[in-house]
Structure 1
């Protein structure tokens, strides 16, 4: 069902405090759109002034119907390049009357395709594209446009094509550098980069444009050969119906219709990806399908004013974000102010130096790149890092449309790879407790005697079904009576997964082992019935919880543990202490020792302020279990000299106090848990070895104290 269409949804309940920022951002967007739009209009095969026309009604209509509060529509690189290439491929000269006839028809069919995508609810496709793909895609687009713009810093024309063509164009520009243009561009870019860090809210872009225009008017800019924007005749864009007959009469209709589909796909994918990227970054939501309608309306306006296809603009949006534009009032102001420019200020346009305007565009694009995401992914997930890189180079080398396809393929590949290697574990219980935990968390967690409890944390489908079967079969023992699958994370199952479950059930049944599926949502039962496994439910193999499955086996609490480990019920206070430790180890895993060290250092910093030695000696470890208490005290011993220096206490007194507490811990373990005393002694030996390696001088003091205590 389509969302109810509303006008200006982002302006409802408007916050007046955003008004000055939205106005300023809109004026800046208008100003930077002048060189960008004029350049891309020429790339599409139209005269430069049509870039300004495309920055009036299309941007205003998009602002009125878009659900994104900050994204800006405008004449942009990808659609302009695709249309320009198509026009040249038809043998039509850029800037000719024939081009001015064909391009609006192109735009009209792009608008129709986007409208069709809206009715097909195609906007949901963006949900299947991951953050690394989005980040790589946006960074690729930004880098491509920066490379397109780079020759203009040197006084040359805009580059076209992909990485290799752009590199070749930059190389050619290096052989024809206009020194004055390069100095102006580099200085402007440096000022923008520095001001963005020091005074990010100051409208430096506007100051530079005005300064550049004044310098051109009063200075020798034109004598130096520095390019300025082309002069534009004043006047509003004219509304008219595209000349379809001219296109159809020369039998170019099929080419226009087919090629316009590729342009529409690029607009949909590129703009939705970018919009969702900004939405995620700034904490709001958009309606993807309504955006497609807004794209269509904007392009329809472009078609009826003779313009090329219009796209969401990353560079303009980045500029708006830099100057804190908060709503689509920014887009409305940009469109209305462009009308004012076309009516009254076209003479000013001819004085704007191209290198300065190029520096403004490049500065905005640099801020929109997401190389910081790549750096983060390199640290946390190499797989996602390479997906980012694939999407980035896909756009940079193969172009936008191929980059989009590569990104979608990479997203699906990542999803399948992740699901093919699901998180799995075998569950057990800690003596005195009844909840189930991963047996890898602690040596004090034991499996229930004769029962395998297996957790599978993914949907069960063709790519991972073998993992479940292999894990369970490899874990079977001669005395296994039941296998319980914790299916709490299995939200769906395909026919391959169902066949694997059935095969496992029959294999276990032949061995006299009962199979249970538990903890899953009710919908999974419906899927099992549809896939022909309803008989498992009827035979009692599907149970709501693990506890119910165990009870069905005749196994009640306290559960018998492997190896005859005592599973007596613990006191409430003992359980609370155990749970605190379990939470700590569960949260930090292999880093739990580092976290203890971190807590010690925090306590030492606190000690510097309070001089309260009792807090660090007694206050932090009272609720730990005995093993963790001993490790806490051992870490304290490592920092003994530091504590002595801060507190002013005698080193031997502090060492004796710590050792006394460690001895009490050892005696308590020997008294309450004699079966663990030997393991504790082995652990104590290991901790002492660590102390000797890290703090040999402290170790000598501790050893001497122990010797003295033996002789007392």
Structure 2
């Protein structure tokens, strides 16, 4: 039964569900639903899909996540970065606005969902750790700029294309003379109003005497006010006849049953983008859910999160949606509104379903400039150039990775940017571990502790060299250790008769590293130097016992570094 609960977390929190949780979840669902209606329409626009696709992608996927997900507050649905990646991936395969484009979006969601579920079943959630936080921050910052730039065509009321900042900028400039002034006025008003909503609306409402709870709810509903106001103006002043681009007719229906495009050509073309979208979406989602869970001393299971997000994407693939993940803004709103269980997401889905069958006719006159303003204000909060300053002060290699990711994303597009981010993260890991920190240590007087001779006043012996290896050894860094030891002997090792490798920080040893240690011991033996090890951990010792290393070792294995020091310096004194 416990195994069954592992894959269906709803069986755990559902059994303890009570009236208080129901009340809190319903309140949170109302607030998030109000927020999601304009946001879902806007993100579908960003993905190059009909506006209803955003609502469809926010109904069944949320319900499936409520069954399979482990986060109590994560709100799943379309998000800005994934929407941009969707548009970029499909736009290179199928022409936007065609039936094939929507079908390709379903295929992308299906591939993404399948990949996530497979990773979850094989418990591969740890692979996301290979994406470094600075690289992800750089990618999201650049993506935020690209997303905002891509929406200025709707603010200006002109046509513009391009996958990079330079292409978008050049296209916008070339069409600048076609600007629709009414559309521009709507866009500028929307951006200004929504920025004020974020910064000034709540204090203004509090100043009018409203309590904190009501002020917070009205502030969250700010985008809906912008939508209502501009829709009313567009209808009353007949903006449609004045060249203002409107959302137009939206089907008044629940999500339809749909099938992805199974053609081999589409699957081949979208497979790699689907993998990249899955990884980026998972990293963003897990980061948000871990942060929110920690605030309530809860925990999430990253492997089960893969299954939950995979199920959500599969649901989107068969109900007219496109790839989804956990969104930062809506999850924080869901958490702050008091959501206690994933049932809040299910109630949100019900609210969106009601909106899909009853409110969609009201958005016919909604200007696309308003939705563009919603996206611009939302994504600019993702832009954080402070990561450049932080990484410059902390690590030049991290700074270089962030800077390259930002430049490539802006200059060559999001697909190149995210691929470069993955590659850079792996290169950073390999680079850092290929040259592990190895310190020459000595005995701190009056203690049994050993510290770096360059940082502390310690005792050393001219005939004994002790090196502390501060990294697990594997094929990429074992030769570095060998070269360091031999270089040290060649430089000033005439008096050295014993070398001790302190393995207190070595947690693993692969076969290549074992062979390198055997070769090093053989070379040292030929030079009249014995090789010893100290503080070897159990799992590492087990691997050594399975090889011939211990039998051929010229020296000994010591339980502690002090034991090695005591035995070898005493023996040298006797000699």
1:57 aligned residue: 60
The answer to whether the Cα contact below 8 Å between 1:151 and 1:169 also exists between their aligned partners in 2 is no
1:36 aligned residue: 42
The answer to whether the Cα contact below 8 Å between 2:35 and 2:223 also exists between their aligned partners in 1 is no
Output one character per residue of 1:83-107: Cα deviation in whole Å (capped at 9) or x when no partner: 343233xxxx7344x6666765665
2:210 aligned residue: none
> 1:342 Cα shift?
1.8
> 1:417 Cα shift?
1.5
2:449 aligned residue: 435
Mapped pair 1:82 → 2:89:
yes
Output one character per residue of 1:580-628: Cα deviation in whole Å (capped at 9) or x when no partner: xxxxxxxxxxxxxxxxxxxxxxxxxxxxxxxxxxxxxxxxxxxxxxxxx
The answer to whether the Cα contact below 8 Å between 1:63 and 1:331 also exists between their aligned partners in 2 is yes
Pairing of 1:269-668 with structure 2 (within 5 A): 269-279=279-289, 281-282=291-292, 284=294, 286-305=300-319, 307-312=320-325, 314=327, 317=330, 320=333, 326=339, 328-442=342-456, 444-448=457-461, 450-461=463-474, 462-463=476-477, 464-470=480-486, 472-474=488-490, 476-536=492-552, 540-553=555-568, 555=570
The answer to whether the Cα contact below 8 Å between 2:441 and 2:467 also exists between their aligned partners in 1 is yes
> 1:439 Cα shift?
1.9
Supply the distance in 2 between the matched residues of 1:314 and 1:220 (Cα, whole angstroms): 36
2:212 aligned residue: none
SS of alignment partner, residue 250 of structure 2:
coil
Alpha-carbon distance change, 440 to 226 in structure 1, aligned in 2, over 3 angstroms: same
Supply the distance in 2 between the matched residues of 1:495 and 1:79 (Cα, whole angstroms): 42
The answer to whether the Cα contact below 8 Å between 1:9 and 1:66 also exists between their aligned partners in 2 is no
Supply the distance in 1 between the matched residues of 2:528 and 2:112 (Cα, whole angstroms): 65
Alpha-carbon distance change, 372 to 503 in structure 1, aligned in 2, over 3 angstroms: same
Alpha-carbon distance change, 127 to 231 in structure 1, aligned in 2, over 3 angstroms: same
Supply the distance in 2 between the matched residues of 1:182 and 1:192 (Cα, whole angstroms): 15
Structure 2 gaps of 5+ residues are: 205-214
SS of alignment partner, residue 455 of structure 1:
strand
The answer to whether the Cα contact below 8 Å between 2:506 and 2:536 also exists between their aligned partners in 1 is yes
Supply the distance in 2 between the matched residues of 1:365 and 1:512 (Cα, whole angstroms): 65
Alpha-carbon distance change, 322 to 472 in structure 1, aligned in 2, over 3 angstroms: same
Structure 1 gaps of 5+ residues are: 561-712
> 1:384 Cα shift?
0.8
The answer to whether the Cα contact below 8 Å between 1:33 and 1:55 also exists between their aligned partners in 2 is no
Supply the distance in 2 between the matched residues of 1:323 and 1:221 (Cα, whole angstroms): 39
Please, which moves more after superposition, 390-399 or 215-224? Answer: 215-224
Alpha-carbon distance change, 224 to 256 in structure 1, aligned in 2, over 3 angstroms: closer
> 1:275 Cα shift?
1.4
Mapped pair 1:256 → 2:239:
no
2:163 aligned residue: 161
The answer to whether the Cα contact below 8 Å between 1:24 and 1:323 also exists between their aligned partners in 2 is no
Output one character per residue of 1:435-481: Cα deviation in whole Å (capped at 9) or x when no partner: 22222224x42313532222121123443234532454156544333
Alpha-carbon distance change, 210 to 63 in structure 1, aligned in 2, over 3 angstroms: same
> 1:521 Cα shift?
0.6
Pairing of 1:196-211 with structure 2 (within 5 A): 201=216, 203-204=218-219, 206-211=221-226
2:139 aligned residue: 137
Q: Which one of the candidate residues 51, 73, 96 is aligned to 2:77? A: 73
Alpha-carbon distance change, 221 to 172 in structure 1, aligned in 2, over 3 angstroms: farther
Supply the distance in 1 between the matched residues of 2:217 and 2:568 (Cα, whole angstroms): 73
SS of alignment partner, residue 555 of structure 1:
helix
1:94 aligned residue: 97
SS of alignment partner, residue 67 of structure 2:
helix
1:184 aligned residue: 189
Output one character per residue of 1:65-119: Cα deviation in whole Å (capped at 9) or x when no partner: 223432422373322442343233xxxx7344x6666765665555445544444
The answer to whether the Cα contact below 8 Å between 2:62 and 2:76 also exists between their aligned partners in 1 is yes
1:23 aligned residue: 29
Supply the distance in 2 between the matched residues of 1:318 and 1:169 (Cα, whole angstroms): 35
The answer to whether the Cα contact below 8 Å between 1:517 and 1:541 also exists between their aligned partners in 2 is yes
Supply the distance in 1 between the matched residues of 2:89 and 2:159 (Cα, whole angstroms): 18
Supply the distance in 1 between the matched residues of 2:228 and 2:54 (Cα, whole angstroms): 20
Please, which moves more after superposition, 218-227 or 367-376? Answer: 218-227
The answer to whether the Cα contact below 8 Å between 1:153 and 1:186 also exists between their aligned partners in 2 is no
Output one character per residue of 1:4-35: Cα deviation in whole Å (capped at 9) or x when no partner: 31154795567849547623542244223343
Structure showing greater relative contact order (alpha-carbon pairs closer than 8 Å, 6 or more residues apart) = 2
Please, which moves more after superposition, 293-302 or 191-200? Answer: 191-200
Please, which moves more after superposition, 540-549 or 68-77? Answer: 68-77
Supply the distance in 2 between the matched residues of 1:111 and 1:420 (Cα, whole angstroms): 35
Alpha-carbon distance change, 280 to 270 in structure 1, aligned in 2, over 3 angstroms: same
> 1:271 Cα shift?
0.8
Supply the distance in 2 between the matched residues of 1:510 and 1:328 (Cα, whole angstroms): 66
Please, which moves more after superposition, 182-191 or 18-27? Answer: 18-27
Supply the distance in 1 between the matched residues of 2:408 and 2:223 (Cα, whole angstroms): 35
Q: TM-score, normalised by structure 1?
A: 0.66
SS of alignment partner, residue 6 of structure 2:
coil
SS of alignment partner, residue 445 of structure 1:
coil
Give the greater-gyration-radius structure (CA). 1
2:207 aligned residue: none
> 1:523 Cα shift?
2.0
Supply the distance in 2 between the matched residues of 1:212 and 1:387 (Cα, whole angstroms): 40
The answer to whether the Cα contact below 8 Å between 1:70 and 1:320 also exists between their aligned partners in 2 is no
1:229 aligned residue: 247
> 1:212 Cα shift?
4.5
The answer to whether the Cα contact below 8 Å between 2:532 and 2:556 also exists between their aligned partners in 1 is yes
Supply the distance in 1 between the matched residues of 2:381 and 2:44 (Cα, whole angstroms): 23
Supply the distance in 2 between the matched residues of 1:322 and 1:71 (Cα, whole angstroms): 9
SS of alignment partner, residue 86 of structure 1:
coil
Output one character per residue of 1:473-492: Cα deviation in whole Å (capped at 9) or x when no partner: 15654433322221111223
